[in-house]
Chain A
């Protein structure tokens, strides 16, 4: 095992797959000589050449559209959208086209592509460098949406995503890039897409989360464990589509309480779906309401520091919600 941060895990996964499979290539803004604005492709031009690490013009729709054309011709492109906030110009090629390429050809074409998307807030990014973009993407049949929170998962899931024959949106939380370090094997390994993971065992309630919020939730779980002896079970969804419903339901049946924590706004979100599934499949096992911790229903997110802190869920907000649910 090596110790690495999430950014290094992402870089490692891409480098290994680029070495293994000549059909893998990268395209995006500043991914070449600059190595990406976050340095995810640092050193790639030197190793793989400009042909396979393509600096594109500033035009997101064509980044995804060109990736799609190459994918259905047998390649495995990795398209980088510089920030999640700039994915909207590409949304038609992604949601309208890539997601339906297989279905609309009755299985004749593989849209074997990955769209990597650094996203999320708490980085003083303001309204246009902080957005969570998962809800619409996870809503879309035909896409897979992955949102890892640890280096181990990021590397194993990204290798799986690159090898997947369907379009995978890979959401990398910007704040985890350098902040979150952990162990991950040096060489090749894969983690399965579509499988959640219980990251902390507990019997008093189930907290369901993903991305940066996994780390805040684990901190909150330790707080309530130390202060009140409340033991929270924490589920990291890891994949937002397809959702691992079984892991969630199995846990909620044991604990009888469910709290969902997300950085995205509440309406028509991942949390809405998880709550609906729990209401459907574990209703008679519940002994309290399904609660959510989310930001307020406002655009993400103010630049000014007190307002940004007000907006973002935090370990304290999460532990408060845990106590409330337990005390009900």
Chain B
């Protein structure tokens, strides 16, 4: 297990061996549950992409390829006390946090009953009545200073032991807000976990055109806290790195930056065509390391799940997606007049 170091030097993390070869804090049932969430996410994701092509979902940003990183990062935290600032690609993370497939579908279809913004906003934007998460905006990077403010509020109230995790992409890492947020969090050693899902692209612009360094994680050194980079297709590695980061933050160790290197299997959104800027070879290679396959294999190798188990997980997910789709499609749109509420406190 790699150690956090305050120089922020990139640290390679290997999955550690606890009982049954699982990282501390994970048991067999928990691991299968994570896989179940990944499968549900993938199937729902495929469904909404299709519904975009059918003209039913106006826009979709897919999480395909990000599932392992998202599910493991949520699992490593404690949703009963931690704060989650997500961004538009956090499909799997939201399912892992207990947002239902129906609620997500209501977001994509802009249907009545959508819990986060009453369908005023793009999918996955707003706040959630049951889960401590928010994503106000589409403007990348804005959530980073806001997360620092959430952590500062905990500090001012003397509310200890809570972590604020803020998710962002490699593209968002170029925003000035990212620098300002990390700088402030570093100075005040605030309990913030900066979680970068580095999929190598900001829409069409590859990493080499976004930054002169190898990883986002190395930048942490400039803010006086540790940064680690992990293989985001490896659920166990992401879990371990995020858990270590959260433990260190809870022990008042100050912020940590965790970077999960993932693939974005689909174009940026339903409005994009990634064959314009990615070679067939690249796309093929990426598909060969799909985190769903990687995880399925790992679970079977560790005998946490067998072929039949996998099959029944997929069947169950398919059933849930169909059921949620039918229910969402039957719902009305919110009334036009509902747009006039909630500009100011009522």
Seen from chain A, the residues whose Cβ lies within 8 Å of a Cβ on chain B are 23, 25, 51-52, 56-57, 59, 61-62, 64-75, 77, 89, 92-93, 96-97, 100-110, 141-142, 144, 164-166
- Given A61-B177, A73-B153, A75-B156: A108 and B127 within 8 A (CB)? yes
- Given A65-B145, A110-B345: A104 and B156 within 8 A (CB)? no
A interface footprint on B326-346 (CB within 8 Å = 1, 0 otherwise): 000000000000000111111
Seen from chain B, the residues whose Cβ lies within 8 Å of a Cβ on chain A are 83, 116-118, 120-121, 125-129, 134, 136-137, 139, 142, 144-157, 176-177, 180-181, 183-184, 187, 341-346
Find out whether the CB atom of A105 lies under 8 angstroms from the CB atom of B177.
no
Find out whether the CB atom of B148 lies under 8 angstroms from the CB atom of A69.
yes
Find out whether the CB atom of B125 lies under 8 angstroms from the CB atom of A73.
no
Q: Please name all residues of chain A whose beta carbon is closer than 8 Å to the beta carbon of B346 when the two chains form the complex.
A: 107
A72-B150, A97-B146 known, 17 other contacts, Cβ within 8 Å: A57-B184, A59-B184, A62-B145, A62-B183, A65-B144, A66-B148, A69-B151, A96-B137, A100-B136, A102-B345, A104-B137, A105-B116, A105-B126, A105-B127, A109-B134, A164-B345, A166-B345
Q: Please name all residues of chain A whose beta carbon is closer than 8 Å to the beta carbon of B144 when the two chains form the complex.
A: 65
Q: Please name all residues of chain A whose beta carbon is closer than 8 Å to the beta carbon of B180 when the two chains form the complex.
A: 57, 59, 61-62, 65
Q: How far is the CA of A45 from the CA of B128 in the complex (A)?
A: 37
- Given A59-B183, A68-B146: A109 and B153 within 8 A (CB)? no
Find out whether the CB atom of A62 lies under 8 angstroms from the CB atom of B184.
yes
Find out whether the CB atom of A68 lies under 8 angstroms from the CB atom of B342.
no
Q: How far is the CA of A59 from the CA of B179 in the complex (A)?
A: 10
Find out whether the CB atom of B145 lies under 8 angstroms from the CB atom of A69.
yes
10 examples of A-B residue contacts, CB within 8 angstroms: A57-B187, A62-B181, A66-B148, A66-B184, A69-B145, A69-B150, A72-B149, A93-B177, A96-B137, A103-B342
Q: How far is the CA of A105 from the CA of B118 in the complex (A)?
A: 8
Q: How far is the CA of A69 from the CA of B184 in the complex (A)?
A: 13
Q: Please name all residues of chain B whose beta carbon is closer than 8 Å to the beta carbon of A166 when the two chains form the complex.
A: 344-345
Question: A65: nearest residue on chain B (CB-CB)?
Answer: B145
Picked from B121, B153, B176, the residue with its CB within 8 Å of the CB of A70 is: B153
Min C-beta distance of B154 to chain A, whole Å:
8
Most chain B CB within 10 A, of A67, A69, A100, A102, is at A69
Picked from B128, B149, B342, the residue with its CB within 8 Å of the CB of A65 is: B149
Min C-beta distance of B172 to chain A, whole Å:
13
Find out whether the CB atom of A66 lies under 8 angstroms from the CB atom of B149.
yes
Find out whether the CB atom of A97 lies under 8 angstroms from the CB atom of B142.
yes
Q: Please name all residues of chain B whose beta carbon is closer than 8 Å to the beta carbon of A106 when the two chains form the complex.
A: 116-118, 120, 126, 341-342
- Given A59-B180, A61-B180: A103 and B343 within 8 A (CB)? yes
Q: Please name all residues of chain A whose beta carbon is closer than 8 Å to the beta carbon of B148 when the two chains form the complex.
A: 62, 65-66, 69
Q: How far is the CA of A72 from the CA of B180 in the complex (A)?
A: 19
Which 9 A/B pairs are nearest by Cβ-Cβ distance? Answer: A69-B149, A65-B145, A62-B180, A107-B342, A69-B146, A73-B153, A66-B149, A105-B127, A106-B118
Q: Please name all residues of chain A whose beta carbon is closer than 8 Å to the beta carbon of B344 when the two chains form the complex.
A: 102, 142, 144, 166
Min C-beta distance of A171 to chain B, whole Å:
19
Q: How far is the CA of A106 from the CA of B116 in the complex (A)?
A: 7
Q: Please name all residues of chain A whose beta carbon is closer than 8 Å to the beta carbon of B150 when the two chains form the complex.
A: 69-70, 72-73
- Given A69-B149, A71-B149, A105-B126: A92 and B139 within 8 A (CB)? yes
Picked from A57, A93, A108, the residue with its CB within 8 Å of the CB of B183 is: A57
Most chain B CB within 10 A, of A75, A104, A108, is at A104
Most chain B CB within 10 A, of A67, A73, A102, A103, is at A73
Q: Please name all residues of chain A whose beta carbon is closer than 8 Å to the beta carbon of B126 when the two chains form the complex.
A: 104-106, 108
Find out whether the CB atom of B181 lies under 8 angstroms from the CB atom of A65.
yes
- Given A61-B177, A106-B341, A108-B129: A69 and B117 within 8 A (CB)? no
Q: How far is the CA of A70 from the CA of B149 in the complex (A)?
A: 4
Picked from A75, A104, A144, the residue with its CB within 8 Å of the CB of B121 is: A104
Find out whether the CB atom of A97 lies under 8 angstroms from the CB atom of B153.
no
Min C-beta distance of A74 to chain B, whole Å:
6
Find out whether the CB atom of A101 lies under 8 angstroms from the CB atom of B183.
no
Q: Please name all residues of chain B whose beta carbon is closer than 8 Å to the beta carbon of A65 when the two chains form the complex.
A: 142, 144-146, 148-149, 177, 180-181
Most chain A CB within 10 A, of B121, B127, B155, B346, is at B127
Find out whether the CB atom of A104 lies under 8 angstroms from the CB atom of B125.
yes
Find out whether the CB atom of A51 lies under 8 angstroms from the CB atom of B156.
yes
Find out whether the CB atom of A69 lies under 8 angstroms from the CB atom of B147.
yes
Q: Please name all residues of chain A whose beta carbon is closer than 8 Å to the beta carbon of B181 when the two chains form the complex.
A: 62, 65-66
Find out whether the CB atom of A67 lies under 8 angstroms from the CB atom of B149.
yes
Picked from A70, A89, A97, the residue with its CB within 8 Å of the CB of B136 is: A97
Q: Please name all residues of chain B whose beta carbon is closer than 8 Å to the beta carbon of A59 when the two chains form the complex.
A: 180, 183-184
Q: Please name all residues of chain B whose beta carbon is closer than 8 Å to the beta carbon of A102 when the two chains form the complex.
A: 342-345
Question: A99: nearest residue on chain B (CB-CB)?
Answer: B343
Find out whether the CB atom of B156 lies under 8 angstroms from the CB atom of A25.
yes
Most chain B CB within 10 A, of A56, A57, A103, is at A103
Min C-beta distance of A322 to chain B, whole Å:
36
Min C-beta distance of A52 to chain B, whole Å:
7
